[in-house]
Amino acid sequence: MRCICFRNIIELDEIDSTNKYVKTSAEKLPEGTVVFSDEQTAGRGRMDRLWYGKKGKSIFASFLIKNIYDNLDAVRLSFLFSIALKTFFSKYISYERIRLKWPNDVLIDNKKISGILSEYSKECVIVGIGINVSDFEPDGDIEKPWTTIQTESGTEPDMNALRSELTEAVNGVFMRYCTNQLTDFPKIWFREADIRDNTVTVDSGGNSFTGRVKMIDDNGALVVEDSSNGEIKTVYYGDITINDQF
């Protein structure tokens, strides 16, 4: 992977979705652009879900990486951003409480605090990050338990500080791992996430089974041994529940 430094920072007041904005303006934007928006009116999550947040209480950010020729690299890169988030949160929440959940969620005591939506479009990867900073009333239903930095740390951090800390954390992992291949990133994430042998229930497109996590492959797919018959299954897409908890 090339060493990329995100230093072209764009700050918007309001946008439908920072990912959509970066995707549609990618040709005009240099690599290493990060777009932050105070407010996001139509934020999107994985699996066509909506992503909720509030002005002054959430971080909405999208990072642009150019000259990527394999759409699987969008997935591989997303793991690097998850690792950066662990460093980012550790300033506010103790490191042992921060858990990474496949593929890209960050959880604190089984509650989601951040999510990543990585997209591939026209030889670009757009990595969108949503972070729950302070407690807010969401405009719609958030299906699973969630939390905020404020709840978990007892402080309401400064939004500007958070933005630069996030950018720094991302630049830090790019510096650290830029001599690695993109195909190494899922395995680096797997070590950080520490989920080998965890029992998970996998739900991908209506098919559900329970099994034990064996490894992650170079494409970021989770390899799970089905408990009912010992069959090894590769999960490319979907949601998992770890130990019946989240």
User: Between residues 41 and 243, which has the closer beta carbon with respect to ligand BTN?
Assistant: 41
Contact 202, 224 (CB under 8 A): yes
Q: Write the burial class of residue 60 (CB in 10 Å: 0-12 exposed, 13-18 middle, 19+ buried).
A: buried
- Would you count residue 45 as binding ligand BTN (CB under 6 A)? yes
> Which position among 23, 26, 33, 51 is part of the footprint of ligand BTN (CB under 6 A)?
51
CB of 125 to ligand BTN, least distance (A): 13
- Would you count residue 138 as binding ligand BTN (CB under 6 A)? no
> Which position among 103, 130, 186, 220 is part of the footprint of ligand BTN (CB under 6 A)?
130
Q: Provide the token pair at 132.
A: 């729950």
Q: Write the burial class of residue 41 (CB in 10 Å: 0-12 exposed, 13-18 middle, 19+ buried).
A: exposed
> Which position among 116, 182, 193, 216 is part of the footprint of ligand BTN (CB under 6 A)?
116
Q: Which residues pair with 44 in a beta bridge?
A: 50
Residue, CB closest to ligand BTN: 115
**Owner of token pair 């018959």:** 229
Instruction: List helix spans (H) across 72-229.
Output: 72-89, 149-153, 159-177, 185-193
Contact 34, 9 (CB under 8 A): yes
The 61-90 site mask, x for binding ligand BTN (CB under 6 A), equals xx----------------------------
User: Between residues 20 and 87, which has the closer beta carbon with respect to ligand BTN?
Assistant: 20
> Which position among 29, 39, 49, 227 is part of the footprint of ligand BTN (CB under 6 A)?
49
- Would you count residue 211 as binding ligand BTN (CB under 6 A)? no
My answer on whether omega of the bond before 30 falls inside 30° of 0, hence cis, is no
Residue ranges binding ligand BTN (CB under 6 A): 17-19, 40, 43-46, 49, 51, 60-62, 105, 115-117, 128-130
